[in-house]
Structure 1
Amino acid sequence: MQQSPPRSRRKPVQDFSLAPVMSALDAIEHGGAGVDDALRQLRRRHDCHPSHLAWAAEAVQNVLAARAEHVAHHLPGPGALPTEDIWVAAAELATPDARGAVRYERTAWGRRYASADGRLREIWLLSVNSVKDRTAAEIAEAAAVAVTGVPSVAGFGEPYRPTGAGAMLPEQVRVVAVGCGDGSRRVLADWDAEEAVRQYTRHAKPALARVIDLRANQTSPGSACVNCEGLPSCSQPPTIPLLLGVNRPRRVRRRRSVSVSDLRTHATCPAKYHLTRVLHLKSAEPESAAIRRGRAVDAWLNEQHRVRHSCRAALLPDVLPGLTTEETGPAARMIAEHAAVCPLDGLPEDEQVEVQPRRTAYDPELDAVVIADPDLLYTDAGGWVWRETKTAASRPWEGRPLMESFPQLALAVLLMSAGVLGGDPRRSRIELELLYEDGSACEELCPADPGTVEEARRVIAALAGPWAADETCTATPGHGCTGCEALRWCGPGLGHTAGS
Structure 2
Amino acid sequence: MGTPGARPNFVGRDDLLRVSASDAQRLPNGCGMYGALKVRPDLKTTDWSRRYDNSQPFVLGIIREIAIKLHGDPRTETWEELDTALQIELSQYNLHPGILSYARPAIENYLDCHEAVEAEIGRLRLRTYDPTVIAGASTNRLTVWAPIYDSHSGVREVRRLRFGKARQPGEEPDQWTVVAAYVASLVRPIGDLERIRVIEFGLEDGSAEVLFDATPQEAASNYNSLTLPKLHKIVDARNATPGYSCKECKIAGCCGSLQRLDGFLGQPTPGPATRSVSARDIEVYEVCAAKWLLEMSSLPTQKNSGPSSQRGINIHRWLAMAHMRSTRCTPESVDSLEESLGAPLTNDEHSEARDYLLGHTKTCPLGDGVQIIASEYPVYGYDAQADVIIASKPDMAYIDSDGTFVIRETKTTTREIPESEKDAFDKYLAVPWLLNLFASGYRGPHQSDKARLELEVLSPEGSRVFSWDADNARLLRMAKAEVRLRARAWHKDTTWSATPGAHCSWCTVKKWCPDARSADAEVGVESELSI
Q: TM-score, normalised by structure 2?
A: 0.78
Q: How does 1:414-453 map to 2 (within 5 A)?
A: 414-417=436-439, 418-419=441-442, 421-453=444-476
Whole-angstrom distance in 2 between the partners of 1:267 and 1:86: 38
Cα deviations by residue, 1:203-232 (Å, 9 ceiling, x for unpaired): 222222222222xx2223234334333334
Report the 3-state secondary structure (helix = DSSP H, G, I; strand = E; otherwise coil) of the residue aligned with 2:463: strand
Whole-angstrom distance in 2 between the partners of 1:435 and 1:193: 57
Report the 3-state secondary structure (helix = DSSP H, G, I; strand = E; otherwise coil) of the residue aligned with 1:18: helix
Q: How does 1:301-380 map to 2 (within 5 A)?
A: 301-312=319-330, 313-316=332-335, 317=338, 325=348, 328-346=350-368, 351-380=371-400
Alignment check: 8 A CA contact 1:387 1:433 kept: yes
- Structure 1 residues 133 and 451: alpha-carbon distance in aligned structure 2, compared to 1, 3 A threshold: farther
Q: Residue 293 of structure 1: CA displacement?
A: 0.9
Q: Does 1:137 align with 2:137?
A: no
Q: Does 1:19 align with 2:58?
A: no
Name whichever of 393-402 and 446-455 sits farther off.
393-402
2:184 corresponds in structure 1 to 146
Find 1:289's aligned residue among 307, 310, 319.
307
Whole-angstrom distance in 2 between the partners of 1:114 and 1:447: 64
Whole-angstrom distance in 1 between the partners of 2:511 and 2:293: 14
1:110 corresponds in structure 2 to 146
1:456 corresponds in structure 2 to 479
The structure showing larger relative contact order (alpha-carbon pairs under 8 Å, at least 6 residues apart) is 2
Q: Residue 472 of structure 1: CA displacement?
A: 1.0
Cα deviations by residue, 1:126-151 (Å, 9 ceiling, x for unpaired): 22223358873333222222223x3x
Amino acid at match of 2:277: V
Q: Residue 82 of structure 1: CA displacement?
A: 3.1
Name whichever of 338-347 and 51-60 sits farther off.
338-347
Cα deviations by residue, 1:257-288 (Å, 9 ceiling, x for unpaired): 11111111111111111112x21324446541
Q: Residue 467 of structure 1: CA displacement?
A: 0.3
1:86 corresponds in structure 2 to 130
Whole-angstrom distance in 2 between the partners of 1:394 and 1:474: 30
1:162 corresponds in structure 2 to none
Amino acid at match of 1:306: M
Whole-angstrom distance in 2 between the partners of 1:33 and 1:221: 50
Q: Does 1:248 align with 2:269?
A: yes
Report the 3-state secondary structure (helix = DSSP H, G, I; strand = E; otherwise coil) of the residue aligned with 2:457: strand
> Structure 1, unaligned stretches of length 5 or more?
95-102, 151-164
2:155 corresponds in structure 1 to 120
Q: TM-score, normalised by structure 1?
A: 0.82
2:96 corresponds in structure 1 to 49
Q: How does 1:211-222 map to 2 (within 5 A)?
A: 211-214=234-237, 217-222=238-243
Cα deviations by residue, 1:346-391 (Å, 9 ceiling, x for unpaired): 455xx35322232211112222111111222223354432121122
Amino acid at match of 1:341: T
Once superposed, what is the RMSD of the aligned Cα atoms?
3.2
Alignment check: 8 A CA contact 1:42 1:57 kept: no
- Structure 1 residues 166 and 50: alpha-carbon distance in aligned structure 2, compared to 1, 3 A threshold: same
Whole-angstrom distance in 2 between the partners of 1:380 and 1:321: 27
2:52 corresponds in structure 1 to 9
Q: Does 1:384 align with 2:386?
A: no
- Structure 1 residues 497 and 112: alpha-carbon distance in aligned structure 2, compared to 1, 3 A threshold: farther
Find 2:252's aligned residue among 231, 243, 263.
231
Q: Residue 255 of structure 1: CA displacement?
A: 1.4
- Structure 1 residues 303 and 194: alpha-carbon distance in aligned structure 2, compared to 1, 3 A threshold: farther
Alignment check: 8 A CA contact 1:130 1:184 kept: yes
Report the 3-state secondary structure (helix = DSSP H, G, I; strand = E; otherwise coil) of the residue aligned with 2:515: helix
- Structure 1 residues 336 and 401: alpha-carbon distance in aligned structure 2, compared to 1, 3 A threshold: closer
Whole-angstrom distance in 2 between the partners of 1:89 and 1:384: 51
Alignment check: 8 A CA contact 2:178 2:219 kept: yes
Q: How many residues align?
A: 464
Alignment check: 8 A CA contact 2:418 2:424 kept: no
Q: How does 1:401-412 map to 2 (within 5 A)?
A: 401-412=423-434
Q: Residue 240 of structure 1: CA displacement?
A: 2.0
Whole-angstrom distance in 2 between the partners of 1:390 and 1:30: 54
Whole-angstrom distance in 1 between the partners of 2:147 and 2:457: 47
Cα deviations by residue, 1:29-69 (Å, 9 ceiling, x for unpaired): 47776333442124424421011101111212223333434
2:224 corresponds in structure 1 to 201
Percent identical pairs in the alignment equals 24
